[in-house]
Structure 1
């Protein structure tokens, strides 16, 4: 009697009129606003509606020649940079904007003045900044020279005597620069004193051109802290002069090993290039033994590097480095080098002695799964930096060990795909690099040594406290605007969870992987916008996903699917479900019958187009024992109490 009464009450509550003989839904209020387009994603001449660069797509090119000298007594870097800039845009340019990111380390910088009194992750020294001199700018090889320039915080405007012609015009800009290397470099660069010397982790170390694109024109957001970088692609040829007893590692390929390495070290270097096992170039016992490792015993030595199709470069220098390396095997058959440098404070099999093993595994996995790694070396540097990425080179914390070292190494190397290969605007859309990277990290971690370390995203519902928080913020919040306590969810975990849901629950692995790999290949060394990603995934994946992009990426609502009840009906069973949340979802449910056999069913997302309740007939001649929504618990559904039936109220 109790069961019949509850059935009657429930059906009255959800509107049993909706379950007619034809099971048609009564139209009361539709959800068109949820399923409709939420941003302008129409194709243009530069970007197609299918999410590809259009026939009118262009981007400018920046090639650099740089020479710099490290003074390890004064802790300064002094150098000269020559930028060759190609204007592929359809308009002539009277000037260019450049980034002077070392100016963040001034007492009156915008970044310093917008840092809370109590500080945050992006604290940094405030007694630094660039000294710029001998600015020279000219168009073509014979153009008049201009030295007109304006420095404003972390930006520099350089004017030309005549405009750079459109559609291929070239200009050169050169200048001298120097700066005091900060000890605390906002957790992105800086220096660390260890027993055997100082580790210099150098990034944001040269003046670089800002991006001029079809969306914003000049992208001149200042460098404040959380917002990272947006840079043009080109070729880099750079030389770093250091004391003879230093080891230097940098983005790209070392071009002059015979000039900077002893014959013994050259032999070990060659051996490492052929070894799947880690090989010491400089062992812990050999730190400081320059007679064994260096061809010169006094003065300064210049290390020469080059890299192509890159948007940036970084390097590290120290006399305190242990140095080891191994071969990376790429899908094309090409062999490149994984290498690690770290002080003896980081040594140990539970610590940095496994760094090169981790680096090799990470690069090989991503190359095989998504897109082949394009650079000559993959270098992991131990420094007092939580984790920061540059093309082919990471800075990771020198105290990291075990699972933590794997996680940070894998994450920073994953950034070679986002944003080093796929060149999104990190300063505006952190989720397009941090989120996408956190997503691919999930699968590489599951694959590493058959799951030696767990992925932090294996259970998406661990984040429910955040999703239920009144202080949560949307993924589309700019990184310099978001509350720093929310940045980890907004930029990293929430977008990664969204892609896991898209792959494992909505599209399925095959359709998702086809689309995601196509997106990477299509936008390699280019500048995609959010709409390009959305359009490309839809067109290759074959699904209109506006409801998903709007709800998860450009909204702040939650997922809450629930079971209202399961009832005998006309010899079968009626399943009544509701979308109690803000984001519609397809409904995957698993039925367990009295004989303990199980069966899974999927209802499409379109069941929610006309309302937030739905009734479905489970056709069976077996007795239904239980029903559960999302049996694999992929969805971060915020209400765990309504995902299954029976609930206590329906028990006999």
Structure 2
């Protein structure tokens, strides 16, 4: 088709030009760096792990089965155990030795990993702090005491303990395809978790004189031997968690007769350890629509006052799990109900003391059920028969059981922050069943594959619980303060957990944010959700690496995402896209240029979140999504009404969101042109937007135009616009209407660290910043509600 060109003369207005910073990976080039493929950064595909990100035809992994008998001595605070391990060598390699983890040695002053950090003398300190700082030359008595290691014939096996690791030397190599059976006997002094720290141990309640035991990382456990690393025997420092081998467990735990135990797997002798009434309630709970108290509040209180001196043995079995943990206490109230997950019933249960009753009785088991159902929809059906939450003033996860926090005031009321913290930690820790308990990544090397992926999934589940829930990670704007820190305080996400200065943002928030940006802004939900589910299904009950995740996401979606992984996971650069200048042109028809006068608006913040992020908006608009709090009104408490302005309590006021007010549109006078030209060009407005990448991290450019008639339009420019020049980009627009203002990233979905250079025109009025003196309650347990709360003010106890 023949094209006819009409010459036009443009008059130009240039606004807000800012020179970009010189941020480059290669000083000799302004391109060819950020969009290059990851190439040799990733491990080479092979018969075990394919280039598509799937397990290969010759993929293999080891297996370890455990038969454990142990006894809890509550009086002397000691645990004694014996475990028989059957270890299967499914690798193609003969093994001259095997490695086991001794995590309890973390508490020993000689056998801990001895990863020290700089310390300074405080102006004042408490006795507990001084006791921790004092280095004793006498063994403090903590840690695993190995009494014997023998083979299947009872012959002693030689071993060496190196801090938190133990090597067992074999007289003859364990051949490929062979198995070995050996027995380890051990004991250790149980530590006071509240004063010494750590994940396992006891908490003592002086008010009633009882203990709550969290038995975690409590037995010598096989290290992972893999195709990509060999033995994962890095020392346990308390931060990088663990990599473990799948297997089957039978565990017998002898405890005081009035204790209740929640543990990994299913109890196979409830009839022997429960009263007839408790057993009847447990059976009823399997088909109940609401959580049933299997052990009631009154029964738990009664046991607190009259401890038993007798003993009982509980027996649990678990199939295809990578670990085993348990909680034991006479303080436990126990409730449960069955939750259908894609045709299978999962027993969802909670254990908690009276200190947490008003929170856990109402929410915990329902949160467990909501989590397994939500995670299943994004990955694969929950494969285990049980999911449990234990209130223990901490937060840590193990297969089918996790330990969380959330306690009330003595009067039963609680603050909203305590409630929301409890909701978040239960979803997070239950969610860890998927990552890394089933999709079994190496937490010690790549913490983000555990915490980051799970924090992202937690965000999705929180959003499906309540559209007003104040999620702290996931939405892009939540990571901005971290991203703008000096580079000497940052590390790439692809860093070993022991070497990260700001562990929480790096391992949890940044990867969660990156994945949500990938889902909402880069790929879209449909492509992302399919690829993410494919990754989960491919690596269910297997050991994936980062390369397997990166490759699967691209392979299943058809998106080349290497630029995204390179920038977000391998780098420390931030997003800061600047709108440097706006060139405005109109066909010169002897008229005046458009005027761009704007008036500030007010900030309209949401009732709970400081910003209504794109996920919340899309979730509300999706007619297929039904939020949990809307389906089940029994979880409505005082704060449900409080957040919605229905409670008789004063609430905080927020400013309205900035609104650009349109100015009267100016008409244009046409110059001598044909009628066709007049029709075609007279009403057009021409704009050139010039951008600079000041932060260095390449991302899509999201441009919102506000027209003089008050309407808005958003253009999403893909990140590939930076391919040939990673520092500068421009975009030419032909508009049918006059533009009153331009704003980059209006929904704050790219984590841009400097929004002051995102506007064309006058900045919106700043919102009020509230300053207050914070009260610190150092004596409170983690997750303990403290201080006056609105429930008390309102007189509400619900």
Query: Hey, what's the Cα distance between the residues in 1 that align with 2:478 and 2:303?
Result: 51
Q: State the Cα deviation string for residues 263-296 of structure 1 (Å, max 9, x = none).
A: 11111001111112111111111126579x99xx
Paired residues of 2:303 and 2:331 also in contact (CA < 8 A): no
Aligned pair partner of 1:481 in 487, 499, 507? 499
Distance in 1 (alpha carbons) for counterparts of 2:525 and 2:763: 36
Shift of 1:588: 2.4
Which deviates more, 72-81 or 191-200?
191-200
- Secondary structure class of the residue paired with 2:462: helix
Q: What is the Cα deviation at residue 417 of structure 1? A: 0.9
Distance 1:413 1:224 in 2: 24
Encode CA deviations 1:581-624: one digit per residue, 9 max, x unaligned: 21111222222222223222222222111112222222222112
Q: Secondary structure at the match of 1:480?
A: helix
Return closer, same or farther for 1:8/1:317 CA change in 2, 3 Å cut-off.
Answer: closer
Give yes or no for contact 1:29–1:610 (8 Å, CA) kept in 2. Answer: no
2:335–2:361 CA contact under 8 A, matched in 1: no
Q: Distance in 2 between matches of 1:328 and 1:305?
A: 21
Q: Does residue 305 of structure 1 match 2:419?
A: no
Q: CA-to-partner distance for each residue in 1:399-427, whole Å, 9 max, x for gaps?
A: 37411111111110111111001101101
* Per-residue deviation, residues 298-357 of structure 1 (Å, max 9, x unmatched): 6321111111121001001111111111222211x1112111111112221x45542112
Contact persistence 1:69–1:242 (CA under 8 A): yes
Q: 1:397 aligned to 2:413?
A: no
1:328 aligns with 2:345: no
CA contact (8 A) 2:250 2:316 kept: yes
Aligned: 1:600 with 2:714: yes
Q: How many residue pairs are counted as aligned between the two chains?
A: 617
Decide whether aligned partners of structure 1 residues 214 and 307 sit closer, same or farther in structure 2, where only a CA change above 3 A counts: same
For normalisation by structure 1, the TM-score amounts to: 0.89
Counterparts of 1:63-78 in structure 2 under 5 Å? 63-78=65-80
Indicate the SS of the match to 1:134. Answer: strand
Structure 1 counterpart of 2:565, from 546, 549, 562 = 549
**Structure 1 contact 132–177 (Cα < 8 Å) conserved:** yes
Q: CA distance change for structure 1 residues 538 and 210 in 2, over 3 Å: closer, same or farther? A: same
Q: How does 1:510-521 map to 2 (within 5 A)?
A: 510-521=526-537
Q: Is the 8 A contact 1:592 1:625 kept in 2?
A: yes
Q: Decide which of 144, 148, 156 is 1:130's aligned counterpart.
A: 144
- Other-structure match for 1:99: 101
| Alpha-carbon contact 1:383-1:395 (below 8 Å) kept | yes
Relative to 1, partners in 2 of residues 1:600 and 1:648: Cα closer, same or farther, differing over 3 Å? closer
Instruction: Provide, for residues 500-547 of structure 1, a one-character-per-residue CA deviation record: whole Å limited to 9, x for no partner.
Output: 111111111111101111111101111111111111111112112121
- List alignment gaps of at least 5 residues for structure 2: 1-9, 21-27, 121-127, 134-138, 409-417, 588-683, 765-798
User: Which residue of the partner structure matches residue 191 of structure 1?
Assistant: 202
Structure having the higher Rg: 2
Distance 1:265 1:458 in 2: 41
How far apart in 2 are the matches of 1:430 and 1:560?
Answer: 27
Q: Structure 1's 4 and 132: CA in aligned 2 closer, same or farther, altered over 3 A?
A: same
Q: Deviations over 1:182-223 (max 9, x none)?
A: 112634111011226211100111111111111221111011
| 1:47 CA displacement | 0.8
* Structure 2 residue 347 is the aligned partner of structure 1 residue 345: no
Residue equivalent to 2:431: 414
Residues 248 and 41 (structure 1 numbering): CA distance in 2 closer, same or farther, change over 3 Å?
Answer: same
The answer (yes or no) to whether the contact 1:105–1:112 under 8 Å persists in 2 is no
2:273, 2:483 → 1: CA distance?
A: 54
In the alignment, the residues of structure 2 paired with residue 260 and residue 540 of structure 1 have an alpha-carbon distance, to the nearest angstrom, of: 49
Picking from 215, 238, 258, the partner of 1:225 is 238
Contact 1:137 1:160 in 2 (8 A): no
Aligned residue runs from structure 1 range 23-62, under 5 A: 29-38=29-38, 39-62=41-64
- Write the mapping of 1:67-216 to structure 2, written as runs, cut at 5 A: 67-112=69-114, 114=116, 127-137=141-151, 145-166=155-176, 168-184=177-193, 186-194=197-205, 195=208, 197-216=210-229
SS in 1 for 2:34: helix
- CA distance in 2: counterparts of 1:238 and 1:304, whole angstroms: 6
Please show how residues 282-297 of structure 1 align to structure 2 within 5 Å: 282-287=295-300
Q: Work out whether residues 83 and 172 of structure 1, in 8 Å CA contact, stay in contact via their aligned partners in 2.
A: yes
**What residue ranges of structure 1 are gaps of 5+ in the alignment?**
15-27
Q: Is the 8 A contact 2:149 2:185 kept in 1?
A: yes
Aligned to 1:446: 463
> What is the Cα deviation at residue 160 of structure 1?
2.1
Aligned partners of 1:445 and 1:59: how far apart in 2?
34
Tell me the residue number matched to 2:740.
Answer: 625
| 2:61/2:91 contact within 8 Å kept | yes
| Aligned pair partner of 1:379 in 382, 388, 397 | 388
Aligned-partner SS, 2:574: coil
Name the structure 2 match of 1:263: 276
Name the CA shift for 1:6/1:596 in 2 (closer, same or farther; >3 Å): closer
Higher relative CO (Cα under 8 Å, sequence separation at least 6) belongs to: 2
Partner in structure 2 of residue 24 of structure 1: none
1:464 matched residue in structure 2: 480
Give 1:370 deviation, angstroms.
Answer: 2.1
TM-superposed CA distance for 1:648, in Å, is 6.8
Give the SS at the match of 2:289: coil
What are the superposed Cα offsets for residues 130-179 of structure 1, whole Å, 9 maximum, x if unpaired?
111221135xxxx894511111111111122221111x211112111111
Question: Equivalent residue for 1:588?
Answer: 702
User: Helix, strand or coil for the counterpart of 1:287?
Assistant: helix
Q: What SS does the corresponding residue of 2:499 show, helix, strand or coil?
A: coil
